[in-house]
Amino acid sequence: MTARHGHRRSIVSEIALPLLLALLPLAAAGLLLIQQRLEARLVERFDSAIQAQLHALSGVTRFEVADPDEGHDAPWVEFDFDPENYPNFDAGKDAEYFRVWVGGVPLAQSRSWPSGASAVPLDAMPEPDSVEFGDLALPDGRPGRLGRLAFLPPFDEDWHEVGARRPVEFARRYPGATRPPALIEIAIDRTPLDDAIADLRLNLVLPVLAMLLVGAALVPWLVRRGLGSLRLLNARLGGIDAGSPDQRVGDEGLPTELLPVASAMNDLLARMDEAFEKERLFSRNVAHELRTPIAELRSIGEVGAAWPEDAEANARFFTLIAESAQRMDRLVGNLLLLAQQERGAVQVIWEVVDLPAAIESALRRHSGEGDRSVAYEGPPRCPILADATLLDSTLNNLIDNMLQYRSDPSGCSIRVGRTDASINMVLSNPASDLTQDDVARLADRFWRKDSARTAGRHAGLGLSLVASLCKALNWRLAFELGPDSVLHLSITGICGGETTT
């Protein structure tokens, strides 16, 4: 067998794969964002520690007035740093570093810093009260974090006493500034920060990765579990075999989304059941209709063969055989015609046909069967657009039905009326034994008021044929039982021809 449809993907993969493809980038982006925020927070906290030290060192920096007695002829900056208080800046394995500039000139540096600091041009000094951070390699080669604080050293408390004389002097030395700007740099080992970031990454990424892996496994499982209802529905549908179309899909345990599917399936099954029932009824009716003529033929044949010397009886039997065969022929012919019309195999040849002439011809065909007088009311000529053969068959069945089943020999009539666009024909016959329920079944196949097959000629297909013929001719067929127990069979269609009165 050829695999016409190629590889089929399951609904599970149809849902799980896009879900995973959408979830993974989202999770990765989320993870990245969280990681960046946490890392920034760690760096910020690390930097805040450096900043605290920067402020501590700036606190021991004073702009002092000139004091010639102490050897300071001009205002000067004192960096009152006590190494005892800051052992971390001593030289050693875990040493931290600082340097201080005042007015671009190196003022002090930690003992841990092996080389001397070079001067910083004034215009390269950062703006006062600004803090900067960055990375660098420490003098001993360790990765470091650098903090720079630019500030204006506070005035010594004696400054106000000497007042205006000092700034003028200062201004001469540092044009444009009231005090020399100071800069403190602190560099510390950033390994703890890097370790913390590494720990963060490890502790964040690994669980998330694990969660993603579990999620990748869970999503298909969850989807498969969620689709369990579909499997349930499928199992219920699979449990309905062709031999029991009266079964229905139970809706117990089905989610609301699948209830319409189950309902639609049940509707479909109901329609199939109805079709099967019609098929069974049809077969049963056909078999029933054929049983009697077959029984007739068989019985006549067997009895005739048992006593072949009885020529008189056998001659009568031959006549009866012919009648039975004709009945079967009529039945099969009608069934074939119905089948042809149902599948649209009957070709309609449209032509202009004179309806009153067609009615007269059909009536004449039945005139040999006793008193068949039927009153005709309508124009003497009434051309319509129809298929002459189908029209003749329609009229033949209608008139046959009217004459066969009238409850009173008189009172049958055919009325023809037309407007510019449409033609209407009504056949009426007394039908005192019919009920409204019977009228609703008139066009049912094999339906007869009298269930006996006595008439032989009638299998209950005549009006079914008429209904089918009317459909082929685009005519509307209606049955109505009047209050006077007169049955009216009405046919309405498009006129098509020119009328002559």
Partner 1 sequence: MRVLVIEDSTSLRASIKHGLERASYAVDTAADGLEASAFLSSGVYDVVVLDLMLPGKHGLQLLKEMREAGDDTHVLILSAMAHTEDRIAGLELGADDYLIKPFAFQELKARIDALVRRRFQLKRPILEAGSLRIDTAIREVRVGDLPVELTAKEYAALEALMRHRGSVLSRTQLIERTRDFDCDITENAMEVLISGLRRKLRKAGADDVVQTRRGFGYFVR
Give me the residues that bind partner 1 (CB under 8 A), please. 287-288, 291-292, 294-300, 302-304, 306-307, 310, 313, 316-317, 320-321, 323-324, 450-454, 456
Residue 347 or residue 451: which is nearer to partner 1 going by CB?
451
Q: Which is nearer to partner 1, 258 or 321 (CB)?
A: 321
Q: Least Å distance between CB 308 and partner 1?
A: 11
CB of 242 to partner 1, least distance (A): 22
> Minimal distance in Å, beta carbon 236 to partner 1?
31
CA–CA separation, 41 vs 296, rounded Å?
106
As a three-state string, the secondary structure of 215-235 is HHHHHHHHHHHHCHHHHHHHH
Residue 94 vs 310, nearer CB to partner 1: 310
Task: Give the dihedral sign, CA 492/495/496/499.
Answer: positive
Return d(Cα 339, Cα 461) in angstroms, integer. 12
Q: Are 487 and 429 in contact (CB under 8 A)?
A: yes
- Closest approach of partner 1 to the CB of residue 429, in Å: 19
Distances in Å between the alpha carbon of 237 and those of 45, 91, 93, 248, 264?
65, 85, 80, 8, 12
Rounded to whole angstroms, the Cα distance separating 289 from 460 reads 10
* Cβ proximity to partner 1, 1 vs 306, nearer residue: 306
Q: How far is CA 375 from CA 394, 410, 426, 496, 501, in A?
A: 18, 9, 12, 25, 18
Q: Which run of H or of E encompasses 77?
A: strand 76-79
Q: How far is the CB of 486 from partner 1 (least distance, A)?
A: 23
Residue 458: CB minimum distance to partner 1, A: 12
Nearer to partner 1, 324 or 428 (CB): 324
Decide whether 366 or 453 has the Cβ nearer to partner 1.
453
Tell me the closest approach of the beta carbon of residue 475 to partner 1, in angstroms.
33
- Going by C-alpha positions, the residue among 357, 366, 415 that lies closest to residue 391 is 357
Smallest distance from the beta carbon of 453 to partner 1, in angstroms?
A: 6
Nearest to 185 by CA among 96, 281, 249, 272: 96
Q: Which is nearer to partner 1, 225 or 291 (CB)?
A: 291
What single-letter DSSP state applies at residue 391? H
* C-alpha distances out from residue 318 to 99, 295, 310, 311, 321, Å: 139, 15, 12, 10, 5
